[in-house]
Amino acid sequence: MGQLKPRRCGHCLAQVPGFSLAHVPLRYEDEVAALVQRFKFHASPRAGAVLVELLAAGLSRPAQGWPDVLVPVPLHPRRARERGFDQASWLARRLATRLGCAWVTAKRERDTRSQRGLTRRERQANLRHAFRVETLLPPRVALVDDVMTTGSTLDALAVACRRAGAETVEAWAVARTPQGKHW
C-alpha cells in the first residue's frame, strides 16, 4: 500500500492539534461506514477483526514500530454500559497485540454529549478537559479510535496524554469522515 506525503489540513494550520500526525487509511462512507457501524453498534467481532486488519495494513512499517504505547479513546462508563462494549479499547487491545506494544487506558472524566451533528467548535468545547490519564506515559504514544471526524476527540485526548508525560502523540483511526459530513 502506497504512503502519501504528510500534510496539514487548513484547520490544523489555523489551530495546531495536540497530536503531531494522523494515520487514517480509509474514508468513512459506503462499505467502510457499514462495517464500522456493525462493529460499533452491534459489537460484531468479525467486523472489528476486519477493521484491525485494515488499520494495520494502512500503517507503514516505521509507523507500526513507532509507538511505545497505544491509548484508546475511552467511552464514559455509562455509555460503555449502554453500548455493551468500548469499541476503541477493543481495537487498541488487538492492535497492541499485533504490533507487540503495550496499551494504557485513559479515563473520560465527564459524560459528554454525543459528538454527532456538532460543529468543529462545538465538538472542541464539548470535549474540553474530558480526559485524564492516570499513569506516567512513555515518550511515543499513538491514540486509537474507530472514526475521526474533525479530530476534536483525538486532540483532547492528546492534550491529556501530553500532561501525563507523552512527548509525541499520533492519532490513529480506521476511517475519516469526508469533509463537511459531521455525523
DSSP string, 96-115: HHHHT-EE---EE-S-PPP-
Q: How much is the pTM? A: 0.86
- What is the C-alpha separation between 36 and 43, in angstroms, rounded? 10
The 10s digit of each residue's pLDDT in 124-158 is 777 777 899 999 999 999 999 999 988 889 999 99
- What is the C-alpha separation between 165 and 21, in angstroms, rounded? 18
pLDDT band, very low/low/confident/very high, at 183 (cuts 50, 70, 90): very low
Residue with cell 507503514: 60
SS3 state of residue 72: strand
Structure-block grid coordinates of residue 131: 480526559
- What is the C-alpha separation between 25 and 12, in angstroms, rounded? 18
What's the DSSP call for residue 4? P
Q: Residue 28: name the closest of 180, 154, 155 by CA.
A: 180
Where do the domains of the chain lie, and which CATH numbers do they carry?
A: 16-176 (3.40.50)
Q: Residue 105: name the closest of 70, 79, 81 by CA.
A: 70
Amino acid at 119: T
Backbone phi and psi for residue 152, each to the nearest 5 degrees, phi listed first: -65, -40
pLDDT band, very low/low/confident/very high, at 1 (cuts 50, 70, 90): very low
Q: Which residue has the higher pLDDT, 10 or 39?
A: 39
β-bridge partners, 19 = none
